[in-house]
Structure 1
Amino acid sequence: MVELREQDESTMGLSFAGDVYNSAVYMKRCFPQLSVSMVTAIGRDRLSDKMLNRFKSESLETEFVFRHPSKVPGIYFIETDESGERRFTYWRNDSAARKLVDFLSAEVIEQLTVADTFFFSGIPLAIFEQGAHTKFWQSLERLKAAGVKVVFDPNYRAQLWTSKEEAIRQFDKALRLSDIALPGVEDLTVLYGIQSAQDAVGFCQQYELEEVVVKNGPHSVFTLVGNELLSHTITPVTKVVDTTSAGDAFNGVYLGARLSGRGIGESVQLAAKAAGTVIQHPGAIAPMAAFKQTMSEAGI
């Protein structure tokens, strides 16, 4: 999406962001040896051209970035309060991304079966057009049958859904098809009334996932792999500028670390370091030099 942020009373700053894109960026920055592809739809307008160039500037593969002949990118405006908490205003009802499923032909899915991992979130599920979910689930079933690990982050945004009941229905399907889940406690609290990370892990156990990683804000992370339940203490940062993309950075670096052969504990700590670095900068994507320096000091 196009990200707008107020610079002063008469000027807006423009960038590009979106939860899956943010995760892809931080994964690639930390683990450049991995091939990281975007799967999305953009338009044929100037902003879409700039977006595509940004993908390439972050060394992301763009073979599966499809261009819709008449739709354009969605836009959001972000505001933050004194503690760095954010508020979004969206313009995305006619975005090209809502049409992504139209581009997922049998040939495209076959090409995607060579991937190790397919990561998606609750946000595309919320914006897909009526009737598109069935084809999307069929596509995921084909990927999973081919040995691709499916990873899901609920990332619930109430304003994007027609109802809480519909979100629960789609999330249930997503979790049943997934191998790895990366939920935040807040998402599950709103949808299911879950109040703790331990309860969130228990909730996820019904789906027989291979790996569960529950993000509990700045406090801790709980992981469940097989029968091993671990609590990981996180050191919170003292300077919080903007919490946008904290969870996205965590997801990208955690998955990148696991794909690179790192253990659960090390992967969590590296991911938490990435999230803590990102929230010290405005916007979803932190400056590359500052981010890479901090992550280099952390051992990447």
Structure 2
Amino acid sequence: MRIGFFGEVMREHRADGRGYGFGGDTLNTALYLHRLSTQHRLNIEVQYFTLLGQDAASNQLAATLAEEGLALRAGRHPAKTLGQYWIDIDAAGERSFRYQRDDSAVRQYFAAEQTSLKQTPLEQALVNGSLDALYLSGISVAILPEPDRQRLYQAAADFVGRGGWLIYDNNFRPLLWQAEAAARWQQKLLPLCQLALLTDSDERLIWQLPDAGPAATPAALVDAALHAGAYTVLLKCGAAPCWIGTAALRLQVEAQQVRQLVDSSGAGDAFAAGFLGRFLTAPDALVAADLVAAAQAGHQLAAAVVQQHGAIIPRELMPQISLQGA
């Protein structure tokens, strides 16, 4: 399985003040999935598509990903750079972010002056058969100007039409776009999704639902995404059980409890990687046991990540998670 991720990478300033690293929702998931693939010798090849600057931070990111062995497919913008974010955590370990991303190079990914050919590297990969799956998030779409969102959507739709898989995470950042825009684009993307990775709190914000009420329950959120056209839906609910839905079944899988929540920054992204490590290597005909095993792997990896600072933990702290049947 060859999977390509598209999105924004930023410099990360950790809450404990110990220097900076790199992060970004799709990068976090891509890197964790790559590590799992290497660790467990999975038949998963991960590629990451973005646009960098030509500055020291961009060079350091490229060197870091090269050391990890993650295939980076990134052009260079002559004037832009990486965005930055600062992590703040409260007494309970829950994170919040402050951003500086106006100069983020990847916002110009589809700009004509950055593309010597008629297609970007991502579009080329989607057309030439070098990818089996594409992973996007709400942030992947939100960072782009409206015409470029349509261009990305069309590339994804054509890819799915040729038999490719789209995997979509609904990560919603109100500072990037309004809920109405996020809802409109998610409604367009869900019918393309082989797998929709949703978070309950983000779903309520996107669809402007109350925290309580019949339309805001996990079961209702899963049903709504399936009705919109997603083939498989995974709803992350923090420390509560996650929900999995298909046309034929509904499942709940208990989260793994942790001794101390240190930093929840990368929890959802790590969960997605653990889930994909099983989901992408399961037989074509997924059964309930496969989906439960995938969710358990997601919970295991997320539990390890939230007990460390930063969205991406050091390689030596990666847990030996269970990927039964992979």
TM-score where L is the length of structure 1: 0.92
For the residue of structure 1 that corresponds to 2:228, the secondary structure is: coil
CA contact (8 A) 1:219 1:235 kept: no
Amino acid at match of 1:174: L
CA contact (8 A) 2:300 2:321 kept: no
Question: Which moved further from structure 2: 138-147 or 268-277?
Answer: 138-147
For the residue of structure 2 that corresponds to 1:94, the secondary structure is: coil
Aligned to 1:15: 21
Instruction: Tell me how far 1:258 sits from its aligned partner.
Output: 1.3
Q: Deviations over 1:64-116 (max 9, x none)?
A: 21211211011111111111111111111121011123359437324233212
For the residue of structure 2 that corresponds to 1:243, the secondary structure is: coil
Q: Does 1:69 align with 2:78?
A: yes
Q: CA separation in 1, counterparts of 2:277 and 2:240?
A: 22
Instruction: Tell me how far 1:124 sits from its aligned partner.
Output: 1.9
Q: Does 1:111 align with 2:120?
A: no
CA contact (8 A) 1:98 1:124 kept: no
Q: Does 1:55 align with 2:65?
A: yes
TM-score where L is the length of structure 2: 0.85
Q: Does 1:268 align with 2:279?
A: no
Instruction: Tell me how far 1:267 sits from its aligned partner.
Output: 0.8
RMSD (Å) for aligned C-alpha atoms: 1.9
Q: CA separation in 1, counterparts of 2:63 and 2:274?
A: 23
CA contact (8 A) 1:215 1:222 kept: yes
Amino acid at match of 2:119: A
Extract unaligned runs of 5+ from structure 2. Answer: 1-9, 210-214, 284-289
Going from structure 1 to structure 2, the CA distance change for 1:23 and 1:107 (only over 3 Å counts) comes to closer
Q: CA separation in 1, counterparts of 2:90 and 2:282?
A: 38
Q: How does 1:10-49 map to 2 (within 5 A)?
A: 13-32=19-38, 33=42, 34-49=44-59
Name the count of aligned residue pairs: 293
Aligned to 2:3: none
Percent of residue pairs identical: 29
CA contact (8 A) 1:30 1:295 kept: no
Extract unaligned runs of 5+ from structure 1. Answer: none
For the residue of structure 1 that corresponds to 2:14, the secondary structure is: strand
Q: How does 1:70-85 map to 2 (within 5 A)?
A: 70-85=79-94
Aligned to 1:171: 186
Amino acid at match of 2:125: Q
Instruction: Tell me how far 1:297 sits from its aligned partner.
Output: 7.0
Amino acid at match of 1:180: L
Q: Deviations over 1:40-86 (max 9, x none)?
A: 11111111010111122222112x21211211011111111111111
Q: How does 1:200-215 map to 2 (within 5 A)?
A: 200-215=221-236
